[in-house]
Structure 1
């Protein structure tokens, strides 16, 4: 709600500031912080604007800060409200198409009692000097260095290009033969629609003909394939892989520790009318009634592979977080290994671009589990343009499928347990 005397739209900018503070200072996920940060806003459009400003600021943060630093004699602290206000004003004027006078007038109230003249002066100087943002954003320095060391210049440069704008939206079809949407198809059972599409207005939404799922995120369940036995989907929310397994004929039990995240899974179950059981439990302490023919470990991770949709992950995924996630993954994977029947399949996946959560995890697992071996995917299991590593696992890097709109960063390994 706007305060007395403030320009119209200031409340949305104040909410954007709260969102940025939640991500950059407190390390919260942008989506998780959204409800609390926008609680004072009464309209959906204002909430959408606050989210758009915050997300675009995170996409462009190093370049915005470079502009600010070029126009100040003394560097503003990273957590200074003046810096946050300038980031919000500049990203609106230089990236979101907001007229400069509106961009600055709606952020000045955010620094009431503070350096309003400084904020106004720095913004004015940059506008008069013709400030622009580069077409290809700069990645955060620590992330760029880490990915450069792991994946090289080409993939790191592709990541910078990929973060410039939200990616297209992928749909996984309940029935691969469904023809209700005329949109590009990267492989059977998939459709790709433009970024920003109103998902709920697309054909087939009410009938549950599909669900939103990046093409890379659909590959783990595709590697399990069709079946009629028991399948476990561990750490299942938001549930796209659970729905895939159910649509592929499996008798699925999904396990998810978070009740709030499981709510989305249940909503999709109702919409798609697919059948599966749900257990709200911590996989580290849960026990299935019997072994399963297929187990999918969609492990919690740093989520750096989904940076195109969620740029906040690049500021939250510290080395310490990656190490903590790798430990949790190892615990879950080791526990899940005992739940696969002899001859059954275990698929491990993370939406991470960190080797500690992918390649290194599987190498360590295989060293400790002689009864498991990697089973490389068949050509038909993967979309054209994505090939398995020589070791048999699948790694999607920035730049993959770039001609078709790209895909998320993922690591996937299909492991076959030896027959008794």
Structure 2
């Protein structure tokens, strides 16, 4: 079968045998299990794939089969809307099975057939075997076989005229982005989400050009190194000695807005997993890192130890905690809907709802008004979120400035962020979009969606 032209098509990872006699069966079965847990039970994908506490079947797989499961889940979530539409086109009537198990198996099969370099016959055969092995799906194994075989015969008809940007994005999200950025840009953002995020590194001592050459990458953003190939991060040069850490080029920008922090007392609030803490510590700041999650702070401390950096790490809720003395600068990376990270977290569109934004917006407003009092006069506060929703970014700052005479906006300028002028709004905010250029000349694109505003206490 000729596959539809797709720029996101991935090479098939090599497989190892699972518990079934059929090679690759276990990986497909577990992929369908996890897909169901994410889309029906709203369990975060990262939690399901955690090698300590995640899906027990996934943890038991060998490395190559785990890679295959990750690849299948990636395409099934990134193209979920398209696959759902294709299934509707191929079915004469809806499937009465209530748990969604049959649909999960079909999504896994179609994801392989259309978006991965896996032969149709293997995808169909293993999907039928998955249905046969599941008591809920067993009565529909003939339907699974018929739908997938029909797709193989009628690929062009089944996949024609699919508006991937609209189909793969929940309606409320696309409406929100269209209202904020215009429909054309909203669709560009949605299309960017269909590609997996690049691997970006922040270099501890700032020698980005040297490390880019050493690791076969390029310098992007405001000094990040983007690698051409992905692999085991802990096997790369510089990992053991703590020369760098993984951090999206956009995520590295908010800390830079604090300017020269050497010798200053700086708070990194909602700090885990610690990329910004590491930036501030490497720049010579006396950092206090606060987060509510003990588990995530453990990871932060481990990262700091590898990087040979230090910070005062505090486990507490910002709504209850009080600093002993005011700070010269504060970085508040507020809890948010994370809609700017869909390229690396493709489950976000199927986990988040509009009411999540409303709930989080209340928390963000509370935190902003609380922490502004922890600044010294003349001190700088940078507020940021990895969200594409204006309610979690621009609206928060506009509301704060309208009611407070203690703060003034300090606009962002392009030189501070590697010349990425497209990511500066007319108000002077930082607003990166997944479709924005990540180099000054525009030769490369792809960033997490971030909002940041810089405020000074008068």
Contact 1:232 1:252 in 2 (8 A): yes
Computed over aligned residues only, the root mean square deviation of the Cα atoms, in angstroms, reads: 2.0
Displacement of 1:212 in angstroms is 1.0
Residue of structure 1 equivalent to 2:292? 257
Give the drift of 1:367.
Answer: 2.1
Per the alignment, residue 122 of structure 1 pairs with 147
Map 1:1-400 onto structure 2 (within 5 A).
Answer: 2-3=18-19, 7-35=22-50, 36-39=54-57, 41-76=60-95, 80-112=100-132, 113-131=138-156, 138-142=167-171, 143-177=173-207, 179-182=210-213, 183-194=217-228, 196-227=230-261, 228-386=263-421, 387-400=423-436
Aligned-residue offset at 1:274: 0.9
Normalising by structure 1, what TM-score? 0.94
SS in structure 2 at match of 1:320: helix
Question: 4+ residue runs of structure 1 moved beyond 3 angstroms?
Answer: 1-4, 76-79, 131-138
Per the TM alignment, residue 195 of structure 1 is displaced from its structure 2 partner at its CA by: 5.2
Cα deviation for residue 330 of structure 1 reads: 1.2
Please list, as runs of the form range in 1=range in 2, the aligned pairs for 1:408-419 lying within 5 A after superposition.
408-418=448-458
Structure 2 SS opposite 1:233: strand
**Closer, same or farther in 2 for the Cα pair 1:330/1:139, shift >3 Å?**
same
3-state SS of 1:171 partner: strand
Q: TM-score scaled by structure 2?
A: 0.86
Counterpart CA distance in 1 for 2:177 and 2:163 is 20
CA gap 1:187/1:110 in 2 versus in 1, 3 angstroms: closer
| Distance in 2, Cα, partners of 1:339 & 1:141 | 39
SS at 2:323 equivalent? coil
Contact 1:207/1:271 (<8 A) preserved: yes
Separation of aligned partners in 1, 2:93 and 2:114: 23
The equivalent residue for 2:9 is: none
Q: Identify the range of structure 1 (363-372 vs 297-306) with the bigger mean alpha-carbon deviation.
A: 363-372
The answer to whether the 8 Å contact 1:155/1:397 transfers is no
Question: How far, CA to CA, are the matches of 2:333 and 2:198 in structure 1?
Answer: 23
Question: What's the offset of the Cα at 1:136?
Answer: 5.4
Point out where structure 2 has 5 or more consecutive residues left out of the alignment.
1-16, 133-137
Distance 1:306 1:319 in 2: 16
- CA deviations 1:210-269 (Å, max 9, x no partner) are 111111111110001222111111111111000001111110011111122122211210
> 1:348–1:413: 8 Å Cα contact kept in structure 2?
yes
Q: Deviations over 1:89-133 (max 9, x none)?
A: 011121111111211222223323330000000000010113576
**CA distance in structure 1 between the partners assigned to 2:419 and 2:264 by the alignment:** 29
Contact 1:86–1:123 (8 Å) recurs in 2: yes
| SS at structure 2 position matched to 1:115 | helix
Rounded to whole Å, the distance in 2 between the matches of 1:304 and 1:314 is: 7
Aligned partners of 2:221 and 2:69: how far apart in 1? Answer: 35
Q: Higher mean Cα deviation, 380-389 or 94-103?
A: 380-389
Q: What do the CA deviations read for 1:67-110 (whole angstroms, capped 9, x no partner)?
A: 11111011337952111111100111211111112112222233
CA contact 1:17–1:85 (8 Å) conserved in 2: yes
* Partner-residue secondary structure (3-state), 1:107: helix
Could you say which residue in structure 1 is the equivalent of 2:8?
none
Q: How many residues of Structure 1 are paired with residues of Structure 2 in the alignment?
A: 417
**Any idea what SS the aligned residue of 1:363 has?**
helix
User: Equivalents in 2 of 1:121, 1:388: separation in Å?
Assistant: 51
Structure-2 separation of matches of 1:136 and 1:38: 33
Provide the rounded CA distance (Å) in 1 between the counterparts of 2:415 and 2:281: 20
Name the stretch that deviates more: 164-173 or 245-254: 164-173
1:394 shift after superposition: 1.1
Distance 2:229 2:348 in 1: 19
